[in-house]
Structure 1
Amino acid sequence: MASIRQRKNKWQARITSKGFPPEVQTFDTKLEALKWAREIESSMDSGAYQNQSIANDQTLHAVLQRYMEEVTPTKRGAKREAEGIRFMQRHKMVQYSMAKLTPAVIASYRDERLKTVSAGTIIRELSILSGIITHARKEWALPIANPCALVRKPSAPQGRNRLLTADEELRLLDELKPVHRRSPWMIPLVTLALETAMRRGELLALRWENVNLKAQTALLPMTKNGTNRIVPLSRKAVTILETIRNERHGAVFLISYMTANNCFVDACKRAGITNLHFHDLRHTATSRLAEKLPNVIELAAVTGHQTIQMLKRYYHPKAEALAQKLG
């Protein structure tokens, strides 16, 4: 049963009902207090009651922190997700309680971020935030609806279609030659990427015990998709691996991610190559492989794409080449 009383300039509603914990809330007007009390009593009667004090007491900052400490470390992309969460924790949005976290608050965050970052970044951030709130609702019994579900996401940016030309490849490899303290690992790393369409992370994680030069295969125990994959190696790929001089155990490429990235960026600058990312080598390799493997199922088996839709983002046939096929 609800009781309403005035406390200074506020109105306090208190509900006590057998079998439920007491509910207390303070409002600016008596009408708001009565309305809230009727809604809570109605939800108790219908069996849809949820204790709102949990959502009132917890801020978004606290929920983000708990998720980052308990859930994020169990993920493969833990480092990147933790960076995204820490950034959100620096925004004023996290000061809201979970009960007050409305779609309008999140939409305001979206609009503010769009002034400085790309739509793709915002889409990833909203996806992280939505996943955290969904987890809190399911696992921690947070009694709120997910406000992210009502927030419009920016249009997804068009995928990159930058390919490395034959002339650029020659200039890039020339600038990667191991002279003047340049890394001896970069030429085999780049040429193997162009020959196999393997991701940079997959190449840097490649180990000799998973390479069978005789069978022309390389096992990737864990890929971006969370599954293992056996990559078929061409004769050229085998030759590239045979030129690598190390102890033939442990990691194939003895170079860190950041060093490889810096070497690649610097070589592109020296070669006068603009707007080229290392991941564009995967696009280039996929398009080249498609000329040898017109069967998309076989092509996907080599590149590791799990859907044809994703494969289409990486396969960029030239209109001239298609015209030749048409006759």
Structure 2
Amino acid sequence: MASIRQRSGVWQARVRRKGFPDEVNSFATKAEAQMWARCIESLIDKGTHFSLNQSKDWLLTDVLERYMQEVTPSKRGAKREAEGIRFMQRQKMAAYSMERLTPSVIANYRDERLKSVSAGTIIRELSILSGIITHARKEWSLSVANPCALVRKPPTPQGRCRLLNTNEESRLLAELRPIGRRNRWMTPLVILALETAMRRGELLALRWENVHLQHQTAFLPMTKNGTGRTVPLSKKAVAVLAELPRASDARVFPLTDMAMHAAFRKACARAHIVDLHFHDLRHTATSRLAEKLPNVIELAAVTGHQTIQMLKRYYHPKAEVLAQKLG
């Protein structure tokens, strides 16, 4: 049982359990002390508790490893997060104990990383690290402050506004045409991306059982937002899909992410197209669809954006087109 007592103006909670060292912590209110004590007792009963005194001696790499083993696998982006955690485990800051992991240590890591990566990358890394430490504080009773909260993050970079123009599109499709060992799936993949504004992952995960050519729709059971949505298909998109052969694994595009990325990058190089990412096709498609669907609610229903603010990041109207509408 836990004992709660007031001492020197604060409430002290002590948890005693046979086979475990005593756990002691102080709080401003009795309610907080009781809540903490119940949490510690629950963790001991579940067998997932480690001593508060010992937790201060834990290295950051130990916390990262435990999080990667226990929490990361349950996430949809588990693979990418695990890669980021493994990278942080190889850095100098991972050797610090949690008690000595100060904001200055995190700031030094930030400054070194900014020499080789973009501000967006370091913002994501600090967000992952902060989330891991916060989880350890809440779920594992790690009795240290979160140093990431006191570290200044780099300014958020402006979103990309690279669009594929019609001339580049013609050159790109010409270079994607299946000749010799070129991938036969890339041309229809790019056309469908430009017709539907679907994300790369959504296209590669699309299955024939969810494609309904007669109704001109494609159902996506799971999207980036964590929900499903039905994508309307243009007549051109339906025609492209109708001509595709059926792969043995029931996917519309039986490609790996790496194979798709390599084929797209090489085609851009052959077509002399500079600074074009596959995700830029989603920007291009959204801007084109906006001319056909001036109603933003309908446009968001097609593209899958949940907020108008996020949709604005993908809609890049041309000034000359807007001028023509003004008259």
**Same fold by TM-score, threshold 0.5 exceeded?**
yes
For residue 239 of structure 1, what is the amino acid of its counterpart?
A: A
CA distance in 2, matches of 1:248, 1:209: 13
**Secondary structure of 1:215 counterpart:** coil
Question: How many residue pairs are counted as aligned between the two chains?
Answer: 295
Residue 187 of structure 1: how far off its partner (Å):
0.7
- Structure-2 separation of matches of 1:270 and 1:20: 68
Residue of structure 1 equivalent to 2:291 = 291
Matching residue of 1:72 = 72
Q: CA deviation at 1:46?
A: 6.8
Asked whether the 8 Å contact 2:247–2:254 carries over to 1, the reply is no
For structure 2, which runs of at least 5 residues remain unmatched after alignment? Answer: 1-11, 37-50
**Deviation, structure 1 residue 18:** 9.9
Amino acid at match of 2:172: L
Residue pair 1:52, 1:99 contacting (<8 A) in 2 also: no
Q: Which residue of 2 aligns with 1:277?
A: 277
Counterpart in 1 of 2:8? none
Q: What is aligned with 2:253?
A: 253
Give the equivalent residue in structure 1 for 2:43: none
Q: Does 1:309 align with 2:303?
A: no
Structure 2 Cα separation of the partners of residues 93 and 170 of structure 1: 49
Post-superposition, which runs of at least 4 consecutive aligned residues in structure 1 deviate over 3 A?
17-23, 43-52
Q: Which residue of 1 aligns with 2:171?
A: 171
The aligned residue for residue 211 of structure 1 is 211
Cross-structure match for 2:182:
182
The TM-score normalised by the length of structure 1 is 0.85
Q: CA deviation at 1:53?
A: 1.2
Whichever of the two has the greater Rg, that structure is 1
CA gap of 1:88–1:287, structure 2 versus 1, over 3 A, is same
Aligned partner of 1:36 in structure 2 is none
Q: Distance in 2 between matches of 1:93 and 1:247?
A: 47
Counterpart Cα distance in 2 of 1:144 and 1:234: 55
Q: Secondary structure at the match of 2:202?
A: helix
User: SS state of the match for residue 163, structure 2?
Assistant: coil
Say if 1:208 and 1:249, in contact at 8 Å, map to a contact too. Answer: no
Cα separation, 2, equivalents of 1:261 and 1:90: 27
How far the C-alpha of 1:249 sits from its partner, in A, is 7.2
State, as a whole percentage, how many aligned pairs show the same letter. Answer: 70
Shift in alpha-carbon separation, 1:46–1:273, aligned structure 2, 3 A: closer
Q: Give runs of aligned pairs for residues 78-93 of structure 1, distance below 5 A.
A: 78-93=78-93
Q: Partner of 2:61 in structure 1?
A: 61
Q: What one-letter code is carried by the residue in structure 1 that aligns with 2:320?
A: E
Is residue 133 of structure 1 aligned with residue 133 of structure 2? yes
- Give RMSD over aligned pairs: 2.3
Q: Kindly state the Cα deviation for residue 19 of structure 1 after the two structures are TM-superposed.
A: 4.5
In structure 1, runs of 5+ residues without a counterpart are 1-16, 24-39
Cα distance change of structure 1 residues 209 and 179 upon mapping to structure 2, 3 Å threshold: same
Question: 1:229–1:304: 8 Å Cα contact kept in structure 2?
Answer: yes
Deviation at 1:52, TM superposition (A): 4.9
Mapped partners of 1:177, 1:192: distance in 2: 15
Q: Distance in 1 between matches of 2:173 and 2:75?
A: 36
d(CA) in 2 for partners of 1:227, 1:54: 41
The alpha-carbon deviation at position 246 of structure 1 amounts to 2.1
Structure 1 distance, partners of 2:195, 2:307, is 21
Measured at CA, do residues 271 and 66 of structure 1 come closer, stay the same or move farther in structure 2, by a change above 3 Å?
Answer: same
1:40-61 CA-to-partner distances (Å, cap 9, x unmatched) read: 99x4797678875133221111
